[in-house]
Structure 1
């Protein structure tokens, strides 16, 4: 059972991982263009627009993306059809409320979020109605693909958004530089629409939307609503706290140092999310639906153990590579203007190691509906992050404390998830996994210490560190795993 789960997991990672890599490359190109044409202020403005839309989408879907995937993965037959239809109409109601909110409260949103209530900014907020509605529709469809385990096509749907964005980013950036900031809204809407068209095509071909098409009238099944809100009511609040926290921090930073400082924070946060989500995004499309469908305790624990082990194999080389090349990464992805973000990034890179391990051990909270624990862990983390970030910015006048807060909070969260997984699901990490994790942490700390204040890459030590990290992960595999991994890679090449 363990070998089969490991094989399926690696296949899923390769499928979604390749799509994630393409998305990252296209995203890098888009970010680079914005950084070169508009500078840190432009990056700050674009990130604030995206964060506002993310918060609106969270509210509009009522945090129900996870609930939709979990429900589709755990239900069968008519129950699944009722659930699919009910959640669609819940999303429609949410989109309607968000649209009304943007239109009626645009002056207040402009003043509170963008620190300006001039006519141009108010108009920008009103036009954000369009991409927010499109993003809610896209969220429903992408969750549909995930729930029906169309992982490869899910990755393509995500890539399409990045392709459209990268094709429009230069002319849009030039328009924004001329004062037409609404061009950012056009770009976001066009990319989301491209993803919607693709996902709709796939869903129609596979007849997944047939229950909705046959009965295209507002219909809410009582059991489906109850199941949805049992999970979504918690993920809604926690997701809203998460997106609201990041929106609040960006707003606070704008008050502290303007859009330029917001751009510096955006680079630090974006880099951390970029490479970590390459891993977690690949895992998540397989992990949550699979775990939700496993009721056998030994099989469940085998999956958790395998995923924790695979996460170490991948994240250690990934983090160390970013650590030793971080100054080059900033220069390539953005410009030298963003080098101050390294003061935040160097702390977040260590925190990411704790984040990945905690994510693996915390997933049973969502898979098995332990929403009370999930609510408090997520809420306390983001509330703590907001408070510590506020103190760092306004009382110590140092944005570096944002990175320190990130590290401390994820370290505490990781320790808690170890106890949670053990007490709630009888998960006990093997001695090999514990030793592997501790040695990986030591490697990351030493690599960070050696390159702590570097603003240029040390081309003597950097390749050595990368080779050591890759070699370390390779040596933790047994002979059979090495052989199967090599065969899998060669098979993909063929």
Structure 2
């Protein structure tokens, strides 16, 4: 599996997801207005958390060990059986939590019990969400990038078509149901395309899990929980601080830039997760790991630098297309945000190295340190420079993180074994 070909397929996946998401948002806003967009956004965020809990947050571990045990049928079988067991147990717990407290979740998410049936449907299908994620992790670990791309593409298209169809007939309720129903269809698409390679290793032994494997996968659960909470919490703190220190509109402009950043980073994140995690997991020799890391940095640096330059020089058009004139002051934030994202992308290579080699403590420290630095520097620079200070703080925190990682892995990079 080559990095260039993976980038191409990942780019296709990202393009389809971004395009489908943009069109779906336009449709929802046209039929249901801002309120509809807000409700769909709330459900999307809630589903992300629920899905992470339903599969035990072990997908990174599955990718790593699937790649590592690719040629060992016995270990692969133990991994598959144990992963499915963990998924089923976690799904059962989440199912009970959703069904029993459905009205509470509905009030918390939608501020009403009008959509409690959406929560019931989500609970009923949670096992399909979980198993679909597990299957995609298997595909990724085995290096089936074409099938991985096809399934992700089909998922985005199905979501878009269901959203358009159901919202046309049922308005906002249709959009909510579309989000929930999508994974039912996508799971069966994955089953059809995945072939016999994986299922022939799954047996009744799923009810006799290997607890050593469960322990190994638990490291990835911890890393996933920290990774999925550290930066979001930091952003909540910074957003609240900007609102208090400046005003709500400034916080909205800052949030708008973060959304743009998340959009253009999607392709890079998919590429790194799809390529580096299984690749680095399969390598044991220090020279091989060093070669892969250096080649990855040499490939990503000019590619993302060119992307950043393109975004910077078209920032006025991007703001005009995605937002309104009220967001025009955002353009002054782009330079520092892009510069920070450049170092952030390079740092991700080392993050995937830590995940692939189960450096749990180092990974957790990196995530927490990065988030804390971002918050502390934001407080200082926002008070010093105003809103632009938030982007300056992001750049400095990302640069410090990258330099720290290079120093920490200097023996790997320089070949001093």
- TM superposition score category, shorter chain reference: 0.7 to 0.9
Does 1:73 pair with 2:67?
Answer: yes
Q: Decide whether the 8 Å contact of 2:238 with 2:375 is kept in 1.
A: no
- Shift of residue 71, structure 1, vs aligned partner: 0.9
- Shift of residue 335, structure 1, vs aligned partner: 5.9
Q: 2:408 aligns with which of 407, 420, 426?
A: 420
- Shift of residue 86, structure 1, vs aligned partner: 0.2
Q: Decide whether the 8 Å contact of 1:44 with 1:264 is kept in 2.
A: no
- Shift of residue 142, structure 1, vs aligned partner: 0.7
Q: Decide whether the 8 Å contact of 2:341 with 2:395 is kept in 1.
A: yes
Q: 1:82 aligns with which of 78, 81, 92?
A: 78
The Cα offsets for residues 76-109 of structure 1, whole Å up to 9 and x where unpaired, read as 2101111111011101111222222233445554
1:95 counterpart residue number: 91
Q: 2:262 aligns with which of 261, 267, 273?
A: 273
Does 1:16 pair with 2:10?
Answer: yes
User: Structure 1 residues 403, 22: CA separation in 2 closer, same or farther (over 3 Å shift)?
Assistant: same
Q: How does 1:103-182 map to 2 (within 5 A)?
A: 103-106=99-102, 109=105, 114=109, 117-120=111-114, 125=119, 127-130=121-124, 132-172=126-166, 180=172, 182=173
Q: Decide whether the 8 Å contact of 2:62 with 2:137 is kept in 1.
A: yes
- Using structure 1 for the length normalisation, give the TM-score: 0.71
Q: Decide whether the 8 Å contact of 2:106 with 2:113 is kept in 1.
A: no
Distance across 1 between alignment mates of 2:294 and 2:367: 22
Q: Decide whether the 8 Å contact of 1:137 with 1:196 is kept in 2.
A: yes
User: Structure 1 residues 340, 186: CA separation in 2 closer, same or farther (over 3 Å shift)?
Assistant: farther
Q: Decide whether the 8 Å contact of 1:35 with 1:335 is kept in 2.
A: no
Does 1:27 pair with 2:17?
Answer: no
The Cα offsets for residues 429-456 of structure 1, whole Å up to 9 and x where unpaired, read as 9xxxxxxxxxxxxxxxxxxxxxxxxxxx
Q: How does 1:310-321 map to 2 (within 5 A)?
A: 310-321=299-310
Structure 2 segments unaligned to the other structure (5+ residues): none
Q: Decide whether the 8 Å contact of 1:29 with 1:333 is kept in 2.
A: no
The Cα offsets for residues 216-266 of structure 1, whole Å up to 9 and x where unpaired, read as 65221133223222x32432331342486389579969x99xx99998666
- Secondary structure (helix, strand or coil) at the match of 2:197 reads coil
Farther off after superposition, 278-287 or 381-390: 381-390
CA RMSD of aligned residues (A): 3.9
Q: Decide whether the 8 Å contact of 1:26 with 1:166 is kept in 2.
A: yes
Distance across 2 between alignment mates of 1:159 and 1:200: 15
2:175 counterpart residue number: 184
User: Structure 1 residues 134, 217: CA separation in 2 closer, same or farther (over 3 Å shift)?
Assistant: closer
Distance across 1 between alignment mates of 2:112 and 2:261: 34
Q: Decide whether the 8 Å contact of 2:158 with 2:182 is kept in 1.
A: yes
The Cα offsets for residues 439-489 of structure 1, whole Å up to 9 and x where unpaired, read as xxxxxxxxxxxxxxxxxxxxxxxxxxxxxxxxxxxxxxxxxxxxxxxxxxx
Q: How does 1:427-466 map to 2 (within 5 A)?
A: 427=414
Structure 1 segments unaligned to the other structure (5+ residues): 430-494
User: Structure 1 residues 408, 327: CA separation in 2 closer, same or farther (over 3 Å shift)?
Assistant: same
Distance across 2 between alignment mates of 1:73 and 1:314: 27
- Shift of residue 143, structure 1, vs aligned partner: 0.3
- Shift of residue 134, structure 1, vs aligned partner: 3.6
1:298 counterpart residue number: 287
User: Structure 1 residues 173, 402: CA separation in 2 closer, same or farther (over 3 Å shift)?
Assistant: farther
- Secondary structure (helix, strand or coil) at the match of 1:98 reads helix
- Shift of residue 13, structure 1, vs aligned partner: 2.0
Q: Decide whether the 8 Å contact of 2:336 with 2:395 is kept in 1.
A: yes
- Shift of residue 377, structure 1, vs aligned partner: 1.1
User: Structure 1 residues 320, 169: CA separation in 2 closer, same or farther (over 3 Å shift)?
Assistant: farther
- Shift of residue 366, structure 1, vs aligned partner: 1.1
- Secondary structure (helix, strand or coil) at the match of 2:143 reads coil
Q: Decide whether the 8 Å contact of 2:163 with 2:179 is kept in 1.
A: no
Q: Decide whether the 8 Å contact of 1:51 with 1:247 is kept in 2.
A: no
Q: 1:193 aligns with which of 181, 184, 193?
A: 184
- Shift of residue 422, structure 1, vs aligned partner: 1.1
